[in-house]
Chain A
Amino acid sequence: KAGVTQTPRYLIKTRGQQVTLSCSPISGHRSVSWYQQTPGQGLQFLFEYFSETQRNKGNFPGRFSGRQFSNSRSEMNVSTLELGDSALYLCASSFRDRRDNEQFFGPGTRLTVL
C-alpha cells in the first residue's frame, strides 16, 4: 500500500506570495490532518479534514486554509506569506472512524519564505 505523498517536497517563496501544498492520503483513509513543524514551536496542529469537511482547527490565522476533495486528497493554502511561515508542513492521514486512529505522516513540504 502506498504511503502518504506530499507535493512539492521543497518550495521557496517570497513574502506576500501565496502557496498551495498538496497531500494524497493512504488509500482508504478519509481523515487528513495538517501540521506545521518548526525548530522553535515544534509540531503544531493546523486543521483536520474528514469527508471533505473541516473537523478541527488549530490556532493559526485565517491566512492558513485548507480543503479536502471527494477522493480524500487535501490541499492547504497560505496567503500573504510571512518570514515566520518558513517551516516543514506535514500532513497525516488516518481511518478516523476507528478507535486506534494511528496517524501516518507524509514526508512533508519544506517551505522557505525569503
Chain B
Amino acid sequence: GQQVMQIPQYQHVQEGEDFTTYCNSSTTLSNIQWYKQRPGGHPVFLIQLVKSGEVKKQKRLTFQFGEAKKNSSLHITATQTTDVGTYFCAGPFYGQNFVFGPGTRLSVLP
C-alpha cells in the first residue's frame, strides 16, 4: 500500500546537539512536505521539496530530497528547546491528497 515511513520514532537530545529525522516513501513522490507540530498544537508547514536531490535551508534546519525522490531528511543543527515537537513528512499519493509519516518526536533537554 501507499506508505510513508519515518525514523526514528523518538529522539532525545541535549540542547546544542544535532538532530536528524529520515523519511521514506513506498513510491516515487512528485514532492514532499515537512510539518512541525508542537505539543498540544497543530501541524505547521515548514517546507516543500520538489526537485530530485534538492537541498533547502531555513536557519538551523536543512531539508534534503533524495535523488530517486523516494526519501527525504530533516537535519537540525545545534538544537534549542524551541525545536521540541513532532516532525512529520508528507507526500502526495493519488486519490489521497497527502499521506503523512508517523512523525519523529523530538525532545530537547536543557
Contacts and interface: CB of A to CB of B under 8 A. Distances in A.
A104 B48 CA distance: 13
B96 A58 contact: yes
Given A42-B100, A43-B100, A103 B95 contact: no
Contacts of B101: 42
Given A42-B102, A42-B103, A43-B88, A102 B45 contact: yes
A25 B59 CA distance: 29
B48 A100 contact: yes
A105 B42 contact: yes
Contacts of B66: none
B55 to A, nearest CB: 17
B21 to A, nearest CB: 14
Given A43-B88, A90-B42, A105-B44, A56 B96 contact: yes
Contacts of A45: 96-100
A66 interface: no
A17 B75 CA distance: 45
A105 B88 CA distance: 13
Contacts of A92: 43
A68 to B, nearest CB: 14
B72 interface: no
Contact of B48 (A44, A48, A102, A108): A102
A42 B50 CA distance: 24
B44 to A, nearest CB: 7
Contacts of B43: 43, 90, 92, 103, 105
Contacts of B99: 45
Nearest to B94: A56
A33 B42 contact: no
A57 B95 CA distance: 7
Contacts of A55: 97
Interface in B65-110: 88, 90, 95-103
Interface of A: 33, 35, 42-45, 48, 55-58, 90, 92, 99-100, 102-108
25 contacts: A42-B102, A43-B88, A43-B90, A43-B100, A44-B100, A45-B96, A45-B98, A45-B100, A48-B97, A56-B97, A57-B95, A57-B96, A58-B96, A90-B43, A100-B48, A102-B33, A103-B33, A103-B45, A103-B98, A104-B45, A105-B35, A106-B42, A107-B41, A107-B42, A108-B42
